[in-house]
């Protein structure tokens, strides 16, 4: 009993390592690209803030992943292993290409696969809450960044404040960039950690016959196991992703980087706390980059001078890979008689 029970936790740690690599770029690309923080400090700071975010605000998102889409009674160690392994493989592919990926979208699709297979999908939650959020939030991120860029930032820029060496080298602005990076990492903790802890907590309650009243206690224990692995992933995969996303931020400058980070992190945090919706920080981040970039450079130039357009292909592929693998694993487990429902 112990070994099968531990397998999902081992896979969850592997998944968390990949999530840590993917999340490092959106969180610390501004600080890294602006040379205001040593690269060696990033994994530790990132992991700490992710852990705090998960403990403080990750409960609702974990419930969505662990209970909201698939009947929690179906969350045994074989199904959870299939879900987590499918997500981990899809994210590993993205990390090897150095492209930050939406962990949340891949996880939702991986959970959806066995839910469809066993005819237990909560379609209302998926169709009327999660999917609309995925489409609306990046548009909101773009609109806010465009508005700030055109009507607030651009007039300030014309007066020369943004290119002032005194302003850009001030400790106040450097400190603000670091604070925004920590804020983004905190927001990631409230949303992305749940991709692993949600299924694990439901599984643990089922396998150990824990009362639903103690779900929160199980969730906290799962978080203590999963969250620190984000720091490990940041150390392993973060460098390549920082190089890719840091280049995009450098194009804009430090003040724009603060605006981008604040908008994307705030929207992600609101999705976590208000409805517990698993949402893509990467897409919110790119939405803000495009928004402020269009205000500054024009619509055509933003795609010509950055490489954000190549991210779109991977954003489509990775969730589809996660869904397909999860469905395949579930089918294979079922025909092998390993799905004990």
pLDDT at 140 over 50: yes
pLDDT at 324 over 70: yes
Reported confidence tier of residue 250, pLDDT bands at 50, 70, 90: very low
Query: Which has more confidence, 290 or 139?
Result: 139
pLDDT at 243 over 70: no
pLDDT at 12 over 80: yes
Comparing C-alpha atoms, which of 287, 298, 339 is closest to residue 142?
287
CB 329 within 8 A of CB 86: yes
Buried b / exposed e over 116-131, threshold 16 CB at 10 Å, is bbbeebbeebbeeebe
- Number of domains, the chain: 1
Q: Which pLDDT belongs to residue 102?
A: 79
Q: Which pLDDT belongs to residue 248?
A: 52
pLDDT (average), residues 46-66: 94
pLDDT at 312 over 80: no
What Rg do the C-alpha atoms of the chain give, in angstroms? Answer: 20
pLDDT in tens, 264-307: 999 999 999 988 999 988 889 888 888 888 887 777 666 665 55
What CA–CA distance (Å, rounded) separates 309 from 20? Answer: 23
CB 65 within 8 A of CB 198: yes
pLDDT (average), residues 28-38: 79
CB 239 within 8 A of CB 42: no
Q: What Å distances lie between residue 145 and 148, 150, 249, CA to CA? A: 5, 8, 14
pLDDT at 139 over 90: yes
Give the ranges where 34-170 is alpha helix by DSSP (H). 42-57, 59-63, 77-96, 103-117, 123-125, 131-148, 154-158, 165-168
What CA–CA distance (Å, rounded) separates 252 from 228? Answer: 32
Q: Which residues pair with 121 in a beta bridge?
A: 70
| pTM score of the predicted model | 0.90
pLDDT in tens, 189-239: 999 999 999 999 999 988 888 887 788 889 999 999 898 899 998 888 777
Question: Per the domain annotation, does 340 fall within a domain?
Answer: no
Question: Per the domain annotation, does 314 fall within a domain?
Answer: yes
What CA–CA distance (Å, rounded) separates 125 from 136? Answer: 16
Question: Per the domain annotation, does 81 fall within a domain?
Answer: yes
Query: Which has more confidence, 291 or 325?
Result: 325
Question: Per the domain annotation, does 171 fall within a domain?
Answer: yes
Question: Per the domain annotation, does 253 fall within a domain?
Answer: yes
**How does the average pLDDT of the chain come out, rounded?**
86
Reported confidence tier of residue 95, pLDDT bands at 50, 70, 90: confident
pLDDT (average), residues 65-90: 93
What CA–CA distance (Å, rounded) separates 269 from 331? Answer: 35
pLDDT (average), residues 297-321: 72
Q: Which pLDDT belongs to residue 272?
A: 95
pLDDT in tens, 96-137: 776 667 789 999 999 999 999 999 999 999 999 999 999 999
CB 190 within 8 A of CB 23: no
Question: Per the domain annotation, does 341 fall within a domain?
Answer: no
What CA–CA distance (Å, rounded) separates 148 from 116? Answer: 42
pLDDT (average), residues 171-199: 93
Q: Is 100 left (phi over 0), alpha (psi -120 to 50) or beta?
A: beta
Distance from chain centroid for Cα 324: 20
pLDDT (average), residues 40-68: 93
**DSSP code, position 119:** T
CB 77 within 8 A of CB 8: yes
Question: Per the domain annotation, does 204 fall within a domain?
Answer: yes
Domain span at 265: 2-335
Question: Per the domain annotation, does 323 fall within a domain?
Answer: yes
Q: Which residues pair with 70 in a beta bridge?
A: 121
């Amino acid at each position: 009993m112990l070994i099968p029970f531990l397998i999902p936790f081992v896979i969850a740690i592997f998944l968390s390592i990949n999530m840590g690599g993917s999340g490092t770029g959106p969180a610390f690309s501004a600080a890294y690209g602006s040379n205001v923080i040593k690269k060696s400090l990033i994994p530790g700071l990132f992991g700490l803030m992710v852990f705090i975010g998960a403990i403080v605000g990750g409960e609702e998102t974990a419930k969505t992943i662990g209970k909201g889409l698939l009947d929690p009674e179906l969350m045994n160690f074989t199904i959870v292993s299939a879900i987590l392994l499918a997500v981990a493989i899809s994210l590993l592919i993205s990390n090897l290409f150095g492209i930050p990926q939406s962990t949340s979208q891949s996880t939702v699709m991986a959970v959806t696969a066995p839910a469809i297979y066993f005819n237990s999908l909560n379609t209302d939650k998926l169709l009327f809450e999660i999917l609309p959020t995925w489409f609306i939030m990046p548009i909101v991120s773009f609109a806010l960044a465009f508005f700030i860029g055109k009507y607030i930032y651009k007039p300030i820029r014309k007066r020369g404040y943004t290119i002032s060496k005194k302003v850009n080298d001030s400790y106040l602005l450097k400190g603000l960039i670091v604070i925004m990076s920590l804020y983004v990492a905190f927001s990631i903790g409230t949303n992305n950690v749940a991709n692993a802890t949600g299924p694990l907590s439901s599984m643990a309650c089922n396998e150990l016959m824990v009362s639903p009243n103690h779900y929160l206690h199980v969730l906290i224990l799962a978080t203590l196991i999963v969250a620190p692995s984000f720091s490990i992933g940041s150390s392993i995969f973060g460098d390549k992703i920082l190089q890719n996303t840091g280049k995009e931020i450098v194009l804009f400058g430090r003040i724009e980087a603060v605006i981008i980070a604040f908008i994307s992190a705030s929207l992600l945090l609101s999705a976590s706390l208000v409805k517990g919706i698993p949402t893509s920080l990467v897409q919110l981040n790119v939405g803000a980059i495009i928004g402020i970039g269009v205000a500054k450079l024009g619509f055509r130039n933003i795609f010509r001078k950055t490489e954000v357009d190549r991210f779109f292909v991977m954003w489509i592929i990775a969730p589809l890979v996660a869904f397909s693998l999860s469905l395949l694993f579930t089918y294979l487990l079922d025909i092998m008689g390993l799905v004990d429902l």
